[in-house]
Amino acid sequence: MDKVRRVISVVVANEAQVLARVSGLFAGRGYNIDSLTVAPIPDTDLSHMTIVTYGNRRVIEQIVKQLHKLIPTFKVIEHTEMVEKEMVLVKFPIEAPLADVRALCEAYNGGIVNAGTEMFIAMAADESARIEHFVDAIKRYHPLEVVRSGVVAMER
Amino acid sequence: MKMSGAQMVCEAIIAEGVKTVFGYPGGAIMNVYDEIYKQNAFKHILTRHEQAAVHAADGYARATGEVGVAMVTSGPGFTNAVTGLATAYMDSVPLVVISGQVPLSLIGTDGFQEVDAVGISRPCTKHNYLVRSIEDLPRILKEAFYIARSGRPGPVLVDIPKDITGEMGEFIYPDHVNLPTYKPRYKGNDRQIKKAVEAIVKAKKPLLYIGGGTVLSNAYQEVREFAELTQIPTVETLMARGVMGAKNPLLVGMLGMHGSYAANMAMSETDLIISLGARFDDRVTGKLSEFARYADIIHVDIDPANIGKLVDVDYPIVGDVKTVVNKMLEMIREKVDPDRYQVWRDILARYDELHPLSYTDSDEVIKPQWVVERVGELVGSDAIITSDVGQHQMWTAQFYPFDRPRQWINSGGLGTMGYGFPAAIGAKVGVPEKTVINFTGDGSILMNVQELVTAAEYGVPVINIILNNHFLGMVRQWQTFFYDKRYSETDLSYQPDWKKLAEACGGAGYDVTTKAEFDEALRSAMEGGKVTFINVAVDRFENVLPMVPAGGALYNMLLEHKDQ
């Protein structure tokens, strides 16, 4: 069976151990996590996790069911029609061509977010696949450090 | 009402109607033990090892159908309990295990007897709690019992720091739990059930595949009624032995790795599997690509994650077996034609004639299967039968005439050697009016042999029948079949004096080498009223047959092994 990439949102009770329960479930059952982001949902005692995973149909089905089984799990959304964004921060030496980098960032919903005497930091926010392209494109400017945020997603 | 955390634990146990708790005290749980000392609403049984405490609570739960409770201290007390938790988790047994923890201020400091209990137990409990405040304790205790027994049952750990058991707080035990994130589904989807019933009516060779879930949901009457009404042949898993009753003509037998020829062939040739509370374990399916190639599958299970996990299911029904089968009965009553499957039943009967479950008895040496059958003849359905893990477990499952659910207690999912004896103690404490017999091996029994002392102290007269082949028998069997008889570390020739060992701890012991001696020993053991070891010297090289080699197709069974 072919492996597919899936973005899954999990709404969980915002309580101690819950992240460990979710990540432990993936580790213990041998599922893959590409990225995992988590933050509280405003004005509730719930948290929203976005998990990017891949596997064949049966694995994805098990992941969803096993996530459902966790006692603190409120809702699991297997996204089909979604808006998906990921952020990336990239640090460049000050010698890198600022204008070129800025132009590139702007093509990916970003810009220069910090600059100092030794380095400057650029940001981009876009779909994961486009962030891959961005990271590829900026390689020629010899970035010092690249930090990706992981995906957040919302069903349309 | 104000009380200490320790008192709250006791009050919750009383409120939940638990009559007996198994455990072992230590530093971090001492406050609770102090409260246990002061009350007499429930009994506490001091096992000699924490693992045995959890197994005993597990045996109690399986025999009675109620929640079992075990209590252990922090650190090593808890880690010793982990095997018990994992055993109960794999077989979906409702347990609440309460562990002491170092005080809140010491958590995370590698304090004396500190271990991350919730972290360690996460993959082998249904849910677990670290209590962080006295205000949460009554709610957590209520939730623990509720989660343990509802939905697909399972063990729940409540880890309580010592300062919380000592702290005073307001105790209001909730009547209901409020867990918006946890909603087990009991009622199956009506449309799906209707479709399944239509498939059953149309099938030519349907097969009921009965799993341990039918025991857990107390669905045996419904399942028997369904089988009898429709006249559909039935196979049982290891965990479901007793659901149909040994003499039921519709029971083809146990299936799987050591299932009967007829049962495995039935599974291989059926055109419609009706799976009730079974989870398509690898010991049942054999090679997946060859499993039930001609069959559509109806899968009834309370745990949605069990459905479609290994095989594609045509009619998934998430719900409690008892509820769903009741609904199916209602729908199928008018449509049923019991003669429809006559040819299919005849084929299976023929398979059974060709290769019945059997063994070659001997007058020279006792065959282990004979012992199992003999106990069946002498005590039958009156007894609760537990077992350890190994060849003796399979012979018991194959040859004991199980007549009712909750009569057969063994570690199916995890395969825990050392389970049988403490589980037998728990079962006997839970159902004192029944004779409790534990079939064990000379390998398994030593893994929790210290419980002789527990059984003797509390006067729990369980009878352990050691089918002694001076081998780690099942591993020896695999070495014979698949490792060219290289018996690496499976020869257990060096043994204790079993009779003296039992006597030294306050029990009774018998060494048996003939059939007559066995009958006499069993009779004495039943009358003696003491914990007993009956050490039976059995054929050293007897194998469990038939056997589906691991990973092989279910229909390719080894039916005999001549080279012994």
- Do residues A43 and A104 share a domain? no
Q: Which residues pair with B466 in a beta bridge?
A: B440, B535
Q: Do A20 and B122 touch (CB under 8 A)?
A: yes
- Do residues A149 and A128 share a domain? yes
Name the CATH topology of B190-354: Rossmann fold (3.40.50)
Among B181, B289, B313, the residue to mutate for chain A (most A Cβ within 10 A): B181
Mark whether B90 is an active-site residue: no
Among A20, A52, A80, the domain-final residue is: A80
Residues of B with CB under 8 A from a CB of A: 118-119, 122-123, 126-127, 130, 132, 147, 179-182, 303-305, 308-309
CB proximity A15 to B under 8 Å: no
Contact residues, chain A, for B119 at CB < 8 Å: 20
**Alpha helices, DSSP H, located in B98-242:** 117-121, 137-149, 162-166, 190-202, 213-216, 220-230
Q: Which of B1, B38, B39, B112 is catalytic?
A: B112
Option in B130, B181, B309 nearest A13 (CB)? B181
Q: Which of B142, B162, B205, B530 is catalytic?
A: B162
Structure tokens at B251: 């029971």
- pLDDT 10s digits, B284-305: 999 999 999 999 999 999 999 9
How far apart are the CA of A100 and the nearest CA of chain B, in angstroms?
Answer: 49
User: Is the pLDDT reported for residue B76 higher than 60?
Assistant: yes
Q: Do domains B190-354 and B368-537 have the same CATH topology?
A: yes
- Do residues A8 and A76 share a domain? yes
Q: Do A16 and B182 touch (CB under 8 A)?
A: no
Domain containing residue A94: CATH number: 3.30.70.1150
**pLDDT at residue number B562:** 67
Option in B123, B147, B309 nearest A24 (CB)? B123
Cis peptide preceding B546, ω within 30 of 0: yes
b/e per residue, B468-499, with b = 16+ CB within 10 A? bbbbbbbbbbebbeeeeeeeeebebeeeeebb
The total domain count for chain A is: 2
b/e per residue, B353-384, with b = 16+ CB within 10 A? eebebebeeeeeebbbbbbbbbbbebbebebb
- Do residues A8 and A75 share a domain? yes
Among A24, A46, A80, the domain-final residue is: A80
Option in B118, B304, B309 nearest A68 (CB)? B304
- Determine the CATH number of domain B368-537: 3.40.50.970
Q: Could you state, in order of their start, the residue ranges of all structural domains in chain B?
A: 2-170, 190-354, 368-537
- Do residues A31 and A71 share a domain? yes
Q: Do A62 and B181 touch (CB under 8 A)?
A: no
Q: Which overall architecture, per CATH, does domain B2-170 show?
A: 3-Layer(aba) Sandwich (3.40)
**pLDDT at residue number B208:** 98
- Dist. CA B306–CA B316, nearest whole Å: 10
**pLDDT at residue number A1:** 67
- Do residues A88 and A75 share a domain? no
* Residue B561 pLDDT class (50, 70, 90 cuts): confident
B392: closest CA among B258, B509, B496, B515? Answer: B258
Residues of chain A with pLDDT under 70: 1
- 3-state DSSP assignment of residue B89: helix
Contact residues, chain A, for B308 at CB < 8 Å: 58, 61
Q: Do A62 and B305 touch (CB under 8 A)?
A: yes
Interface size A-B, in CB pairs within 8 Å, comes to 36
- Do residues A50 and A22 share a domain? yes
Backbone dihedral region of B157: left (phi > 0), alpha (psi from -120 to 50 degrees) or beta?
beta
CB-based burial label for B298 (10 Å; 0-12, 13-18, 19+): buried
- Dist. CA B80–CA B355, nearest whole Å: 44
- pLDDT 10s digits, B3-48: 999 999 999 999 999 999 999 999 999 999 999 999 999 999 999 9
Average pLDDT over residues B532-546: 97
- Dist. CA A148–CA B249, nearest whole Å: 65
How far apart are the CA of A62 and the nearest CA of chain B, in angstroms?
Answer: 6
Average pLDDT over residues B313-330: 97
Q: Do B305 and A17 touch (CB under 8 A)?
A: no
Average pLDDT over residues B391-406: 97
Q: Do A69 and B127 touch (CB under 8 A)?
A: no
Count of helices and strands (H, E) across chain B: 21, 20
CB atoms near residue B39 (< 10 Å): 13
**Model pTM score:** 0.96
- pLDDT 10s digits, B322-341: 999 999 999 999 898 889 99
How far apart are the CA of A45 and the nearest CA of chain B, in angstroms?
Answer: 12
CB proximity A45 to B under 8 Å: no
Contact residues, chain A, for B126 at CB < 8 Å: 71
Q: Do residues B480 and B473 lie in contact, with contact meaning Cβ atoms separated by under 8 Å?
A: no
Domain containing residue A49: CATH number: 3.30.70.260
- pLDDT 10s digits, B142-187: 999 999 999 999 999 999 999 999 999 999 999 999 998 899 999 9
- pLDDT 10s digits, B462-517: 999 999 999 999 999 999 999 999 999 999 999 999 999 999 999 999 999 999 99
- Report residue B266 CA to chain centroid gap: 25
Contact residues, chain B, for A10 at CB < 8 Å: none
- Do residues A68 and A87 share a domain? no
Among B122, B146, B311, the residue to mutate for chain A (most A Cβ within 10 A): B122
Among A80, A110, A145, the domain-final residue is: A80
Q: Which of B50, B114, B167, B451 is catalytic?
A: B50
User: Is the pLDDT reported for residue B59 higher than 70?
Assistant: yes
* Residue B100 pLDDT class (50, 70, 90 cuts): very high
B265: closest CA among B544, B558, B560, B557? Answer: B557
**pLDDT at residue number B162:** 98
- Do residues A13 and A76 share a domain? yes
How far apart are the CA of B311 and the nearest CA of chain A, in angstroms?
Answer: 9
User: Is the pLDDT reported for residue B563 higher than 80?
Assistant: no
**Domain residue limits at A137:** 83-155
- Do residues A35 and A65 share a domain? yes
Q: Do A71 and B119 touch (CB under 8 A)?
A: no
Mark whether B145 is an active-site residue: no
- Residues, chain B: 564
Contact residues, chain A, for B309 at CB < 8 Å: 58, 62
Taken in order B502, B503, B508, B512, is the CA torsion positive or negative?
A: positive
Q: Do residues B525 and B508 lie in contact, with contact meaning Cβ atoms separated by under 8 Å?
A: yes
Mark whether B7 is an active-site residue: no
**pLDDT at residue number B10:** 98
- Do residues A8 and A41 share a domain? yes
Q: Do B181 and A72 touch (CB under 8 A)?
A: yes
Strand A35-40 and strand A46-55: the pairing is antiparallel
Option in B132, B180, B305 nearest A69 (CB)? B305
**pLDDT at residue number A105:** 97
Range with the poorest average pLDDT among B230-244, B260-274, B303-317, B548-562 = B548-562
- Residues, chain A: 156
Beta-carbon contacts of residue B486 (< 8 Å; ≥ 6 apart): B479
- Dist. CA A83–CA A155, nearest whole Å: 6
CB proximity A1 to B under 8 Å: no
**pLDDT at residue number B381:** 85
- Do residues A15 and A75 share a domain? yes
**ipTM score of the complex?**
0.89
Q: Do residues B253 and B259 lie in contact, with contact meaning Cβ atoms separated by under 8 Å?
A: yes
